[in-house]
Amino acid sequence: MRRDYGNMYAFAKAYTKIVLVVMSFLGFTKLIAQESVFPTVPAHHSAYINKIVTSPNEKYVATLGSDGRIKLWATGSKNILADVPVISPTNGFFTADSKYLAVRIGGVLQMREVPSLKIVSQFVDIEGACPALEGSGFYYVENKYASTEWRIYYQKSPKSIPTVVYEEPVDRATSMISGYARWLSLSPDGSKLMFTHTDHKTFIYDLPSKEITNPMNFGYEFLPNGNVLSMAAQELQEFQFYVTDLKGKIKWNKKFALKQFKSDLERLYSISTDEERIYFATEEGLLAINYINGKELIYKDLGAVSGIGSTKKALWVGDSKEHDIELVNPKKMSERATIAFKSLITPTSLTASRDAMSFFTGDFRSKDPKMVTVTPGGVRTKEINFPIDVTKSSFGNKGKLIATSMIRERALRVYDLEKEEYTNFTAELGYNDKVVLSDDGSIAGLRGDEFISFYDIKGNRTILQSPKAKVADYNANHPIAISPDNSWAAVMVKVKRGETIYFDNYIAMFDLNKGEELYRVKYDGISGIYAISNTEYITVSNYGLKVDYFNASSGKFLSRKDIRGAFNSDINDINAQNTLLASVQAKGDRIFISDLVNGTLHFVLKGHESEIENVQFLGNDFLISSGEGNELILWDIHTGERAGNFYLFEGSKDWAFVTPQGHFDGSQTAIKTMYYVNGDAILPLEQLYEGYYIPNLLGIVLDHKRPEDNDIDLNNLKPAPFVALTYKDGSRNLTVEDDAQAEQIIASNENASLILDTQAPEDKIIEIRLYHNDKRVIGDARNLTVEDDVKDDTTQKTYNLKLLPGKNVFKAIAVNSQKTESPPAILEIVYEGKSDLPLSRGIVLHSLTIGIDTYKNGKYNLNYAKADATSFEESIKQGMMGITKSQNATFIKDTEATKEKITQALKSIAQEAQPQDIFIFYYAGHGVMNNEKEFYIVPTDVTQLYGNDTSLAQKGISASDLKELSTNILAQKQLYILDACQSAGALNTIAARGAAEEKAIAQLARSTGTHWLTASGSEQFATEFAELGHGVFTYALLEALSGKADSGDKRITVNELKAYLESRVPEISEKYKGSPQYPSSFGFGQDFPVSLTRE
């Protein structure tokens, strides 16, 4: 009997995301929802891979992880196109047209659109499922609870009306689980369905005739040749594979020890038609069996394999231990490559200082937990030798101390972050231990496996220990509260109820002066406890959100505030002023900010894609939260807005910060790692550099401001332009086409022509850049006239230049009108002939040093600019001895430093410098931004810094001027150092101009392929001090050049200078003026030595 059950089905509503990105977030539920744009950070699974499936068109691979993530990969680029959270995905398949991915989650079948992975439809009470032969169709087995029959349905597409293909009665009175089909497979010609009951009987159902047979048991899947793969475990000792024909005749069988295989058969294998092989993932390697003749091979050198997927070009092999993906050539199994990503830190543990902008995050399995300080200039990580078994931590003394619990060392460790020292206190520890430091950092509390302990940090002694016999664990993030005066501590404990197996919840009060327990108060539903004064503490309950106030000396209940609309779980935190409480609903993705003064809900923060794991107040005005999927989000409590996402990387100091509007800042390596996704297209973050990069972005955020809105909408970007490089040998007219550019070209003629062909789909090309060994070059431009109404602009530009002996790496980039950059085209040419360049003269250092104390307008005079410049010139001359054969130094000071003289000096250097040379430019004086947001260095005769752009353009030197002048200097290693002060009279304009100034310098560095170091970040002054005799920046710079920046090889490079200045300048400025000054550095050229250290 056939029935139409289509109208009985209720399809789950699909949820959508922003098309541009893998992730999408809504704003606050009490406010207008914010449309947010966040990039993808490719990362491997953080846990075991349950299943790997490949699409029929071989464009995609999906990995289903036990970490609750599904990742969709592009097989060509190996990029991750989508990464979405799913609770325990176990199995899946693509439809025949590769348009949908079906995902099994227990008894739920989700149909997800490819490549976005958004849910299109969802089905419940599902047992087995498989794709149809064509199109988007699929079959599935439905077994509804308490139903008298189970059915096999066919759907032509995820949203079409289902059709019953087969049904069978179920005797629920006899057994609730026997009789229905668990596995389902379609024959290669699409004419037969095979299903296997839970009692392992296998049936073949002929779709045209509706005839059914039972030729075998343990049938699992049809093979490409029409036979059936069967698998069975025998007596819990061995595992049997065998192949039969449709009549049940065994073609071959194999037996293996059961311990080699996982328990879930659905994840074990992948079938390759080309190789006629079935690949099985085992603990001892990759097992390959020919499905025609049963011949077997095992590749033990692959180690423990967790999942396997196959395409014609590669096997996608999941590593059972590292959880990454290894690509193996199926025709030559020894050819392998691991897909390499920079891994994000896993913020399973998160502790923030409520008094300072510092937080500690990582995972107790991590080799590199992060001690992070958020500054206006960016993210700074502190080098601390944390053990890898840190479980919990707590800040004290305004962020200067941090306490951590460590399993292996059986200790509570307290770090002094300023002195970089630590003290260990012996303790019995477990994975759920809780740690707390008093506000002043003098008392540490630990709720461990065996004791509740309190320690006097300064006195290095134990105050008291309460044995576990008296108390038991309490699974809350804040189970200990220490009073502001350190006189008492309240602890949430569980106490066994007599001789029963039950426990009651109590608050235990301890006198820290006497080292004894004072009393216990029975109280249910506690999920957090906080000392709000020397006389009161509060508890937070799990029932909705109730905050109860207690008298500390007696434990007497005082009052209750019921925060309506808010929810709570074990995840909560209170701010330093004890006025705001942050709480999270159990397994929720929202944060509730409650006003404890008025007893009202203040904000509801929504933005996490996955379940929130931690929430902490950060400083006075911010909140930081972490979630599954390595989410780390900063919230502005003043504005009630999501400020942005942090991205921190393991094994390095690399970081990035991205706002909901798409603005970003970060280290160059981090920015290169991240990208946006639009369908199958990848748009790397760095290709949006000019439009969305904002240096010192965190300085704007920490000032509770938003970056200026960009005229370019990330959701409506035009396709990125692209560029191709063609090399034309000057003598042989040899043209190398684009598809051969990956190969190294050998040239015998030093005169070369490079032809750049560009295209901007739906747009126009506004700029073409060519770099030679990372330094921008000038050539003969041709055909660069572009009309405004061009729809698909194609442009060609030719550069005629000389090759250097040895390797010549050329990189070309095209830019469209939306300031989106093309992917770089790279060409490598090795010149083996002789050069007309005067290489025999060796490497020459060309330097131009400028120091201006005296300005025509006396109110702009400085004190130490000339001294800074003089000391720098002496230091760089001395340091470069042994690096260069000779030096060509120019020093311009005070009233000599006019635009004419500075420009002429740069032009003279351009006439003399050769590609192998080094050029260093140092400027100490004023630097400003005009009303058109163009940066200028200020010569001595500029009389008005602001409000007279015409005069500034006549007498100042703009970023455009510097760009042209630096490009004309052939030296491929260039460093520009600006110790540029803002005028004290320009305070009101600095806030508006600071960020634009930093960006102008960053764009200048990037477009020219040079290094730039600047004294201060956005909205800051470069500071001078009489005690130092120098400006802070140059004082630290001179320290670095003297050898303090040396990493041990007695050579100080540009990158080592940057690293030293980033840590030293804030330290000195804070010491002498009470607040840190943050330098900025922008480098896009070659790293090179600028000084040799000497004994």
Q: What is the mean pLDDT of each run of 10 residues along the chain (1095 residues)?
A: 30 25 31 58 87 96 92 94 89 96 94 96 93 97 82 96 90 53 91 90 94 90 95 72 92 80 64 92 89 93 90 92 91 92 86 91 74 90 65 79 76 81 73 80 82 87 79 66 95 81 86 93 85 95 88 95 89 93 90 95 90 93 90 94 93 91 90 88 86 88 85 79 82 37 74 90 89 79 38 79 88 90 90 70 91 92 90 93 91 95 95 92 88 85 86 89 86 90 40 58 80 66 64 90 89 91 86 79 84 77
pLDDT for 386: 60
**Smallest Cα–Cα separation from 349: which of 410, 404, 414?**
404
Question: 1095 CB contacts (<8 Å, ≥6 apart)?
Answer: none
Peptide bond into 115 cis (omega under 30): yes
Asked if 719-831 and 839-1019+1082-1092 have one fold, the answer is no
What tokens were used for 86? 């799913």
Q: Which of 568, 636, 543, 609 is nearest to 31 (CA)?
A: 636
In this predicted structure, what is the pLDDT of residue 7?
30
Angle subtended by helix axes 987-1008 and 959-968, to nearest 10 = 20
Spatial distance between the Cα atoms of 722 and 695, rounded to a whole number of angstroms: 26
Distance between CA 717 and CA 720 in Å, rounded? 8
CA distance 146 to 142: 12
Measured CA to CA in angstroms, residue 1006 lies from 139, 299, 799, 1059 at distances of 54, 47, 20, 19
Segment (H or E) for 955 = helix 949-955
DSSP string computed for 328-354: EETTEEEEEEEPP-PPBP--SEEEE-S
Burial class of residue 458 (count of CB atoms within 10 Å of its CB; 0-12, 13-18, 19+): exposed
Fold of 719-831: Immunoglobulin-like (2.60.40)
Q: Fill in the DSSP letter of residue 749.
A: -
CATH number assigned to the domain covering 571-642: 2.40.10
Residue ranges per structural domain of the chain: 265-337, 571-642, 719-831, 839-1019+1082-1092
Q: Do residues 218 and 196 touch, judged by C-beta distance below 8 A?
A: yes
- In CATH, the architecture of 839-1019+1082-1092 is 3-Layer(aba) Sandwich (3.40)
Predicted TM-score (pTM) above 0.85:
no
Radius of gyration of the chain (CA): 34
Query: For residue 479, what pLDDT is reported?
Result: 84
Q: Which of 905, 912, 958 is nearest to 931 (CA)?
A: 958
Residues 6+ apart with CB under 8 A from 894: 851, 852, 853, 854, 866, 940
